[in-house]
Amino acid sequence: MDRSLRWRSLFLLGIVAFCVLTLLPTVIGKKNLPNWYTHVFDKKMQLGLDLQGGLHIVYSINLDKALDDKAAEIKRDLEGHLEDAKVDPQTYKVTTPSARGAIDVKMDDASQLDEIRSYVKSSYSGIVVERTCTGDDKDKMACFGVSSDYADRIKHNALSQAIETIRSRIDEKGVAEPTVVAKGDDIIVELPGLDEERINETKDIIARTAKLEFKEVVSDDPFMSGLYRAVKKDEAALAAQYGIDAETDSWRHEDTGKTYSDYFVLAKDKPKAVTVDVAKDRGCWKDDMVPKDGLVYCPWTGRQYIEEFMAELAKKDPKYVIPEDKQLAFEKVEPTSNSENKEAFWRTYFLDASTKLTGSTIKDATVFWDPQTNRPEVLVEFGRYGTRVFGDLTTEQVGKKMAIILDDVVKSAPVIQSAITGGRSNISMGGGNADDQQKEAEALVAVLKTGSLPAPLQEESHATLGPTLGQDAIQKTKVSFMLGVALVLFIMIAIYRYSGLIAIGALLINLLITITAMAVFGATLTLPGIAALVLTVGMAVDGNIIIYERIRDELHLGKSVKGAVEIGFARAFTTVLDGHVTTAAAGWVLLQYGSGPIQGFAVMLLVGIGTTLFTTTWVSRVFFDWYVAKNKQSGTISI
Residue-wise pLDDT for 247-289, tens only, equals 998 888 877 888 999 999 999 998 888 888 888 777 777 777 7
Q: What value, to the nearest 5°, has the Cα angle with vertex 357 and ends 356 and 359?
A: 155
Between CA 536 and CA 615 the distance in angstroms is 12
- Both 267 and 370 in one domain: the answer is yes
- Both 410 and 525 in one domain: the answer is no
Between CA 119 and CA 438 the distance in angstroms is 36
Range of weakest confidence among 70-79, 101-110, 450-459, 628-637? 450-459
Domain CATH number, residue 559: 1.20.1640.10
Answer whether 227's CB lies under 8 Å from 263's CB. yes
Domain CATH number, residue 77: 3.30.1360
In a domain, 226, yes or no: yes
**Position 114, amino acid:** D
Answer whether 106's CB lies under 8 Å from 70's CB. no
- Both 312 and 341 in one domain: the answer is yes
Answer whether 305's CB lies under 8 Å from 242's CB. yes
Looking at 150, 170, 186, the residue that finishes a domain is 150
- Both 267 and 332 in one domain: the answer is yes
Strands 295-298 and 46-47: unpaired
For residue 454, pLDDT over 70 is answered with no
- Both 512 and 399 in one domain: the answer is no
Domain CATH number, residue 257: 3.30.1360.200
How many Cα atoms occupy the beta-carbon half-sphere of 297 within 13 Å? Answer: 3
- Both 474 and 557 in one domain: the answer is yes
Across the chain, mean pLDDT equals 81
Looking at 132, 150, 168, the residue that finishes a domain is 150
How does pLDDT run across 352-366, given as a tens digit for each residue? Answer: 887 778 777 777 788
How does pLDDT run across 7-37, given as a tens digit for each residue? Answer: 888 999 999 999 998 888 888 877 778 877 8
Answer whether 178's CB lies under 8 Å from 189's CB. yes
In a domain, 178, yes or no: no
Instruction: Provide the 8-state DSSP code for 411.
Output: E
In a domain, 47, yes or no: yes
Between CA 100 and CA 85 the distance in angstroms is 28
- Both 568 and 514 in one domain: the answer is yes
Looking at 105, 122, 150, the residue that finishes a domain is 150
In a domain, 441, yes or no: no
- Both 488 and 356 in one domain: the answer is no
Longest dimension (CA), the chain: 107
Answer whether 492's CB lies under 8 Å from 514's CB. no
Confidence of residue 244 (pLDDT cuts 50, 70, 90): very high
Structural domain boundaries, residue 357: 209-273+304-432
Distance between terminal CA atoms of the chain? Answer: 22
- Both 219 and 343 in one domain: the answer is yes
**Structural domains in the chain (count):** 3
This prediction has a pTM of: 0.48
- Both 266 and 321 in one domain: the answer is yes
In a domain, 278, yes or no: no
How does pLDDT run across 505-531, given as a tens digit for each residue? Answer: 898 999 899 989 888 876 777 778 888
- Both 105 and 221 in one domain: the answer is no
**Nearest residue to 216 via CA among 421, 429, 395, 365:** 395
- Both 246 and 345 in one domain: the answer is yes
Between CA 592 and CA 570 the distance in angstroms is 33
Q: Give the bridge partners for 347, in sequence order.
A: 266, 331
